[in-house]
Each structure stands twice: as C-alpha cells, then as structure tokens.
Structure 1
C-alpha cells in the first residue's frame, strides 16, 4: 500500500477559473517629528591629568545642570564616551608629556521644540563645549508607522481591484498579505528622511545668549506590502 499524495486544490499561480493577481501596496507620509536630539561634547586640557579631569568633570556637570532646568521637555539625558589622554611632547627624548586633553559626550533628546532653540544656544555658549544637531526623528512606536502600513494595504487592494476591473473581473478573496522580504526575497531599500544639523562651539559663558530659531524638519515614513488575491474569470 502506498501513501496517497493529496492533489493541491489550486496551483500557486492560479487557474483559468480562479486567476490570481499579485500586487505591491505602497505609502509615503510626511509627518512632524516627535523628538530632536543634540550631541553635546565638552572638552578640557591641562598640564597634568588631574587638572584636565577636574575641568572635564566641572563642564560635564554644567551641561547636565543646564539640561535639567528644562524639566519634562528633555526626554533623554545620557552620558556617552569619556576620554582623557596624554599629548606627547613634540621635541626631546623619552616619553615626555606636554599636556592632557579630555572629552565627554552627552546626548540630549527633547520632545518640546519650543525649548529647543534656547537650550541649544545656551549649551553652545558653555565653555569649551561643542553642540551638534538637532537630529529630528520619530519614535519607533510612532502612530505614523501604523498609518503608513494601513495606507499601503489600502493601496494594494486598490491596485488589485483596478487590474481585475481592467479585465472585466472582480476580486473574490485575499490569498496572502506579507511584508517585503517576509517570503525570503530581499526587500527594497527603504527611503531615508535626512536630518538637518549644525555645529556650534563657544569658549565663553552661556549668559544672555539669544535663542536659535530652529524649524522642525518633517519626516517621511514609507511602508510597503505584498498582496495576492483571487479574482473571477476575466471577460477576454
């Protein structure tokens, strides 16, 4: 007795009585950013390691103190890499050290853009402090991503229906709905919404520094979906 192999009810590519139509739905939305991130780097330099480290510690504390003045407008305040290294003498014999230099990097992310220009200017006015940014972004769980995916699905249905109507047919069922790449194929490279930024550094104090006018950059959200439908026999 041999095992019977069940005959598939329909070929993967459809049949004359049950044709299939495969489409890709796409959506592109432009939305306001949700966060703005600044990268703040404080520097210090001294003739001995201890002096350089003390100056670096003081400037690091000044950055944190200033950022905390803005309360809940600052969503994230994190320390990054810190380094203190010797600068060898350019002339002479032996392992002579001319000075020590140090750097510490701090990330400041804001969700209230009304405070962004003022905070950026005040940070840039701190002693031996460099500010880079802002880097505009959406949160990973932003509703904008969900809205884009839904629009991509609606676009897929619309495309498939238009193809069916062009043949005098109509859609009858959804066979498959998947993200590009979910079936093993390499997905297309997503679009990228660039960010605008600036660099500012000032050796003086941060008192009476005018706020910088920073206009939020709209973010582009892309979504794609693959869909397969069955349709009624076409009127050819």
Structure 2
C-alpha cells in the first residue's frame, strides 16, 4: 500500500489531486494548503493541460480560507528525505523561487511561484507600487510569500523578485497561450481543446467588464496578499 505523500515544509500529509495532462491521461499533484505549496514529480509542472489550470483556480478559490503557515527553514524531499536545494528560475511572469531535490525526484513550489512560472502575473509598475503603498503597509511576495514593506522596498528583500500582481489581463493572455499550444498539439476533436476555445471566446467578451472589477483591489488592507486577491477576482469571472 502506497503511503500518503508528505509536505516538504510541515511534513504533514498532503492532498493528492488529479488533473488532466497534455496529450491525454492524468497526473497527480501533491498539494499542501496550509503551506500553500505543491510537489511536482519530474516534468509534471510542464504537463498540465489548459483545462487543468481552470480546475486548479477553482480548487485554490474553494480553499482560500484555510489557515496558512510560513515555510520551514529546511524543506525535505518527500521521496528521499534529503534537504531540497533552493534556487531561482526565470519565466515570462518574472523571476521565481523553487526548491529541487538534488537526486532528481522533483521540485516544490509555492502557489505564488507556480503562478509566476505559468505567466499568470505581471510586474507592478513603479506608479502602481507608490499608489498601493499609500493604502497598505505590507504585501506578500507572489514568488516566495515573504512580507514586503512596499513603503521601503520595491522588490522582495528575501528572494529579490520584482513585485507582481495576479490580474485578469495576465491570466487571459496566459490561458490563451496554453489553449493555443493545446490546439496545435492535440487532435481537433479533443473535448478539452473545444472547451478551452469556448472559454477563451467568452473571456474576450467579458474583458472590459473585468477591468472595471479590478477597482475592488483599491479597498485592500494591511498585509495584502496579491495572489489571493487576484484569484478571487479572476474566479468571479471564470464562473460566469
């Protein structure tokens, strides 16, 4: 009998969720909502199908009220118990932090880092940072989850990532890129491909409405988590 996977941070049991993979079939991701992190076996982070991304948004939104705790100083591979090695990757969304097993068993990413990797965020401009600093004192870094005092720092003091926002326009562009890739690679009759195309069309029609709804972010309080604020806004429109 296979043992329940453990979270690399808190060492507690993770939740295993199954998602559609590129080219058919499924893959299983180990998620820890308390630590806001996910474990990928080798290459799993590149194999999520576009339809699976919508499922992941729904799951994050449904569990947004779970209690959160900071990552441990030492992260442990759930396959071999070796310490994970912290490093940085660069993607369309910017620089993000990741933790890899030196033995090649996989990698651990925070929810925020995954969003950066997949291009669902955009960097905040200096004017946006200044405007946000007038309303809130600190925000959480989308890449590593660290607290950033934006009245003093215009980049994360922990991972040096640029400050990023998960917003509807970035999500639109990222989802459309993934859907286009799926249409090129999959058979024309693939039901996931057809669903992605229909969702992309509906997203285009409602883009103007989403821009108006972004004003909701102006009522943010101290300690703003841009990832969850953006996910709340985006899921409101994905449900329409």
- TM-score when normalising by structure 2: 0.19
Structure whose CA Rg is larger: 1
The structure whose residues are more often strand, as a share, is: 1
What is the TM-score normalised by the length of structure 1?
0.19
